[in-house]
Amino acid sequence: GENVEQHPSTLSVQEGDSAVIKCTYSDSASNYFPWYKQELGKGPQLIIDIRSNVGEKKDQRIAVTLNKTAKHFSLHITETQPEDSAVYFCAASINEKLTFGTGTRLTIIP
């Protein structure tokens, strides 16, 4: 089955700087790659996603890039703010089933 690896597991960034989280997947048939943000004690919230026919997608301060050849995709957050502090999960989808990475705890330092 699909296997998703996510790095780093923790990331501390000065407020205003950029943060990058990277994921790799194993199954070349995966065709959908969402990113979720989870705050403490809450359910994950979908923040951005990308499909396999697109190389990059941007939504305000958040962007995702996909390299199908290398089977990796990344989340970029620019001009980080304290409210960006959370755990971020990547996922890869094949046949409508999501396989998740193990998460990155992002801390924004004021």
- Of positions 4, 19, 63, 77, contacts another protein by CB under 8 A: 4
Structure tokens at 22: 């990277």
- Of positions 35, 36, 73, 88, contacts another protein by CB under 8 A: 36
Q: Which is nearer to another protein, 83 or 96 (CB)?
A: 96
- Judged by phi (left if over 0) then psi (alpha if -120 to 50, else beta), residue 53 lies in alpha
Q: Which is nearer to another protein, 72 or 78 (CB)?
A: 72
Quote the CA–CA distance of 63 and 48 in Å, as a whole number. Answer: 8
Task: Decide if residue 27 touches another protein (CB under 8 A).
Answer: no
Structure tokens at 4: 């998703």
Using only the alpha carbons of the chain, give its radius of gyration.
Answer: 13
Q: Which is nearer to another protein, 4 or 75 (CB)?
A: 4
Which residues from 63-102 bind another protein, rule CB under 8 A? 89, 91, 93, 96-102
Cα dihedral: 37, 75, 9, 72 (round 10): 130
**Size of residue set near another protein by CB under 8 A:** 25
Site string for another protein, 37-56 (x = CB under 8 A): ----xxxxxx--x-------
